[in-house]
Amino acid sequence: MSKLRLAVVGVGAFGSNHARVLHELTTELEGKEGVDLVGVVDSDHKRGEKVAKDCQTLYFASIAELLANARPDAASVAVPTVAHQRVSCELMEGGVDVLIEKPLSSSLKGADEIIATAERLNRVAQVGHLERFNPAVRAVLPLVTCPMFFEVHRLSVFTPRSLDVDVVLDLMIHDLDVVLNLVKSPVREVRAVGLPVLTNKVDIASVRVEFENGCVANFTASRVSTEKVRKLRFFQPHQYVSLDFSRRDVFTLAVRPAEAAPLSMLEMAGQGEDELPTPIPYKPPIDSEEPLRAELRAFMNSVRTRQQPVVTLQDGRRALELALAINARIEEHRHRTGLEELVRRFPPVTPGWK
């Protein structure tokens, strides 16, 4: 294979970024590593034609037109979540490998159909859990031993994008995938509460997940915040690790195992400050590559080599399964508390409103 022929299906807010990065790679990569962006597909003609013009490629109104005229080897699928199954399966049936934006599907049935189609046709299929390619996450991986407690916050200012899904499938699923990949233990119990605030879907959620190995993770996600926060902290024997997704920064504090031996209060009271364990700060080196660029390069490598992608369909299904379990617990809490009646009885208190 010389140049890879790639396409983007769905060029809205995020799909247009896929097209941008692939267009940049067409001029940067040459020879057998080269890329050719052969087309974009979108149901919005005006939007699709603009992205095609900006990225110096062709616009197609349908997948059928793309397959008939451009013959791509692989494609990014960045359509609304409810269309992931239909679009990705149509592409794979047409002989195209796919990178499917998160979440993998809006249902486990849809995810299983995608998995079955990829296996039947021997197609390379990767899930677009972008934070796996965040330089901070990649820098943390060599530090992980046995994480036992997580605190994760992902807060966003409200925007009209991705309103076809709730905040768990929109934002929290990024962190669910990262934590599942770090813990590598089955989920034992899920507790969750969530509220619709500005939409008719859950806009803010607080979740506690316990894993079979005893690890506990607390997640908070909101798309009605006044600030943008993307942080994950975890604790493991002898070490604390703090990760900022937005700043792409990692900070750790650790003590040597011998120094970290438990001390009773009486023993500590009898020791001088110089004899107490000394936390050692450390900041690992961080790669500066844009996460989306790293994700697309990893996908293209899997297409060329026919190797398993970094984020597999099974990874995407596990994150989706946990997200749907969280939504089920949120629904149970809503019924138990009579949320609809509470919303009706307690309108917002805003002085000056008439």
Within a domain: 296: yes
Q: State how far the Cα of 84 lies from the Cα of 88, in Å rounded to an integer.
A: 6
Q: State how far the Cα of 3 lies from the Cα of 141, in Å rounded to an integer.
A: 32
Within a domain: 188: no
Tell me which H or E stretch contains 345: helix 339-345
What residues contact 115, with CB distance under 8 A and at least 6 apart? Answer: 125, 313, 314, 317
Structural domain boundaries, residue 36: 4-129+292-310
Torsion, Cα 73 78 82 87, to 10 degrees, reads: -20
Nearest Cα neighbor of 18 from 126, 140, 180, 153 is: 126
Q: State how far the Cα of 354 lies from the Cα of 351, in Å rounded to an integer.
A: 9
Within a domain: 89: yes
Q: Give the sheet arrangement for strand 204-211, strand by strand.
A: 187-195, 204-211, 216-222, 149-155, 229-236, 239-244, 249-254, 280-282
Within a domain: 230: no
Within a domain: 306: yes
Whole-Å CA distances, 106 to 18, 116, 299? 21, 16, 22
Within a domain: 158: no
pLDDT tens digits for 126-142? 999 999 999 999 999 99
Nearest Cα neighbor of 176 from 221, 126, 145 is: 221
Within a domain: 304: yes
Nearest Cα neighbor of 29 from 215, 254, 296, 251 is: 296
Q: State how far the Cα of 286 lies from the Cα of 142, in Å rounded to an integer.
A: 12
What residues contact 48, with CB distance under 8 A and at least 6 apart? Answer: 11, 40, 41, 42, 59, 60, 61
Q: Which residue has the tokens 């809205």?
A: 12
The pLDDT value recorded for residue 212 is 97
Residue ranges, the chain, pLDDT below 70 = 1, 30-32, 161-163, 257-276, 353-354
Looking at the 3D structure of the chain, how many domains does it have? 1
The pLDDT value recorded for residue 255 is 84
Q: Determine the 3-state secondary structure of 23 from DSSP.
A: helix
β pairing state of 4-9 and 125-128 = unpaired
For residue 300, the 8-state DSSP code is H
The pLDDT value recorded for residue 29 is 72
The pLDDT value recorded for residue 158 is 84
| DSSP conformation letters of 31-75 | GGG-EEEEEEE-S-HHHHHHHHHHTTS-EESSHHHHHHHT--SEE
Nearest Cα neighbor of 321 from 332, 313, 311 is: 313
Nearest Cα neighbor of 313 from 7, 99, 162 is: 99
Within a domain: 11: yes
Q: What is the pTM of this model?
A: 0.90
- Buried/exposed code over 75-107 (b: 16+ C-beta within 10 A; e: otherwise): bbbbbebebbbbbbbbbbebebbbbbbbbbbbb
Task: Give the domain CATH number at 34.
Answer: 3.40.50.720
β pairing state of 97-101 and 74-77 = parallel
